[in-house]
Amino acid sequence: MIKKTSYQTAFIFLVSLFFMWAFLTALNDILVPFVKELFEFGYTEAALIQFCFFGAFFIMGYPASVILDKYGYKTGIVIGLTLMGIGALLFYPASVMVYYPLFLGALFVLATGVTILQVAANPYVAVLGPPETAASRLNLAQGVNSMAKVIAPVFGGVLILSGIEVLSKEQQAEAVQMPYVGLAIALFLLASIFAFITLPNLRDLDSVKESNKIVVKDKNSIFDFPYLLLGAGAIFMYVGAEVTIASFMVNFLGEESIAGLDSKSASKYLSFYWGGLMVGRFIGAAVLQKMKSQTLLAIMAVVAIIFLITGITMTGWTAGWAIILIGFCNSIMWSNIFTLSIDGLGKFTSKGSGLLVMAIVGGAFVPLLHGYLADKIGLQSSYSVAIFCYAYILFYATNGYKIGK
């Protein structure tokens, strides 16, 4: 049996992965206004940044699970970090050539590495301790994840967006070189560290053994669990809403009817959005010790819908802060949906986790739809697409999580 201290040490190392992939994911919110300015795109073309990045989760989700099954979780993590480093390095030739498809290709490689880490780390953290505190544990890891998302917009705003409106096209393109090359070096170093440390074998964890003892009658595959499939839909909607709100926030706060900010100034408010996630996740880790996860999920979905209606119908900073504060509502959604979805899967838990990670593709499609609507009906009105996402999450929290259970 693995000692408790080993659980704690492994948790610390795994949390570092949550930080790194969150930092790089949050930088996409800086890349959207960056490529919009560099290539003089509309919102739809700029949204391809998120489409390419999150599309990788759907395309590479199953291959990632195959890699983990064949080579093990630790080797899979090293492969994932290495791929992320390669993807970050590809930003250099993309910026030299000022070639959008190469930017998108670099993002896809980077996101493939993130996909492997997500498939490995989320279920790993969930089972690295008692099952009844899995949601709390994931919230704590996601809190560190959010800390990275608070830092990333400031980092990107200063190094990438600063003065971008007055620079030449060549100077604009060069702005991504130093940040992404530096991140590539950090990722390669982290991969080297994971290559030499010892992590608990997932198959040896007590919670995995207990999960595998669950008798699942008349179930032949993950598709025999309706609540898991509905949970994948909830993950799709949650990630789609979280990403699309952040992706267009810089431009939203730049609207004269909202705040009229320049790109660098507006990017700072992304930190408040992600800061809401961070604070909410640390609070959620404590609250979920006492409150049922589905109850808290339903409450947050309702509040998010109210904030969205306010952001769409009002003007000035009332609308601006309403959209920013949705970050707090998002805080507990990932961990609560994830744990409700894999509860009681028994031997199908790992495959169920892979399906949920594939559902992150919502971050590809919802921003693309949002961008299309923004070009057609205006940016502020287009935020209505997120209302449908939270309405579905509310359905899952009140009824969907127990269908077929």
For the four alpha carbons of 230, 49, 157 and 23, in that order, the dihedral sign comes to positive
HEC profile of 182-245: HHHHHHHHHHHHHHHCCCCCHHHCHHHHHHHHCCCCCCCCHHHCHHHHHHHHHHHHHHHHHHHH
Q: What is the pLDDT of residues 265-274, one digit of tens each?
A: 888 898 899 8
pLDDT of residue 73: 80
CA atoms lying within 13 Å on the CB side of residue 12: 7
Domain range annotation of the chain: 4-402
The tokens describing 107, both together, are 């993002």
Judge whether 77 and 124 are in contact, CB under 8 Å: no
pLDDT of residue 142: 76
Per-residue pLDDT band for 352 (boundaries 50, 70, 90) equals confident
Judge whether 19 and 144 are in contact, CB under 8 Å: yes
The tokens describing 167, both together, are 């620079």
| Separation of alpha carbons 33 and 55, rounded Å | 20
| Separation of alpha carbons 317 and 305, rounded Å | 18
The four Cα atoms 47, 56, 278, 291 give a dihedral, to 10 degrees, of 120
| Separation of alpha carbons 91 and 174, rounded Å | 10
The four Cα atoms 356, 362, 364, 365 give a dihedral, to 10 degrees, of 140
Which residue, 164, 374, 385, is CA-closest to 255? 374
- Summarize the confidence of residues 178-194 as an average pLDDT: 94
Examine the pLDDT at 3 and tell me if it is beyond 60.
no
Examine the pLDDT at 126 and tell me if it is beyond 80.
no
Which residue, 86, 17, 119, is CA-closest to 352? 119
Per-residue pLDDT band for 145 (boundaries 50, 70, 90) equals confident
The tokens describing 285, both together, are 């880790």
Who contacts 379 (Cβ-Cβ below 8 Å, separation ≥6)? Answer: 43, 248, 251, 252, 255
| Separation of alpha carbons 170 and 246, rounded Å | 27
pLDDT of residue 61: 83
Q: Which three-class secondary structure state does DSSP give residue 367?
A: helix
Who contacts 188 (Cβ-Cβ below 8 Å, separation ≥6)? Answer: 81, 82, 85
Q: Domain 4-402 carries which CATH code?
A: 1.20.1250.20
- Summarize the confidence of residues 223-244 as an average pLDDT: 95
| Separation of alpha carbons 224 and 172, rounded Å | 51
Q: What angle do CA 183, 236, 179 make, to 5 degrees?
A: 10
pLDDT of residue 216: 62
Mean pLDDT across the chain = 87
Who wins on pLDDT, 57 or 83?
83
Q: What is the pLDDT of residues 298-345, one digit of tens each?
A: 999 999 999 999 999 999 999 999 999 999 999 999 989 988 998 888
Examine the pLDDT at 197 and tell me if it is beyond 90.
no
At 185, the amino acid letter reads I
Judge whether 260 and 251 are in contact, CB under 8 Å: no
